[in-house]
């Protein structure tokens, strides 16, 4: 097809637009889920992913702080030498 032939290109685009509108109306009449169903599922999955990521980071940070306070030699020194009252 020669793209310089505007009449033929216009007819092709018009036919494509009519076909898309007909297919869109048939699905909107109840043949399937609405057009926003996939978007809602995608947003839900992304929110679950970032929620799990944030929860994992918070849990890892909390565990690392507990391990640091138990076995860190500096904290043991402060507890042993400074705990006598000065």
Q: How confident is the model at residue 39 (pLDDT cuts 50, 70, 90)?
A: confident
6 located within any domain: no
Q: Which two tokens stand for residue 22?
A: 């007909």
pLDDT value of residue 44: 92
| pLDDT surpassing 70 at residue 47 | yes
What domain range includes position 44?
36-85
Residues 63-82: what's their mean pLDDT? Answer: 70
Domain count, the chain: 1
pLDDT value of residue 46: 95
29 located within any domain: no
19 located within any domain: no
Alpha helices, H only, 1-86: 6-26, 37-71, 73-81
Q: How confident is the model at residue 74 (pLDDT cuts 50, 70, 90)?
A: confident
This prediction has a pTM of 0.41
80 located within any domain: yes
Query: 4 in helix, strand or coil?
Result: coil
Q: Give residue 46's Cα distance to chain centre.
A: 2
The better pLDDT of the pair 26, 45 is held by 45
Q: For a pLDDT cut of 70, what percent of the chain falls above it?
A: 66
């Amino acid at each position: 097809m020669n793209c310089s032939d505007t009449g033929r290109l216009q007819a092709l685009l018009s036919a494509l637009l009519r076909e898309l509108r007909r297919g869109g109306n048939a699905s909107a009449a109840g043949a399937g889920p609405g057009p926003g169903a996939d978007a809602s599922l995608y947003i839900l999955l992304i929110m679950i992913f970032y929620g799990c990521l944030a929860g994992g980071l918070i849990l890892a940070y909390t565990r690392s702080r507990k391990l640091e306070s138990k076995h860190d030699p500096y904290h043991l020194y402060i507890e042993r030498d400074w705990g006598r009252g000065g």
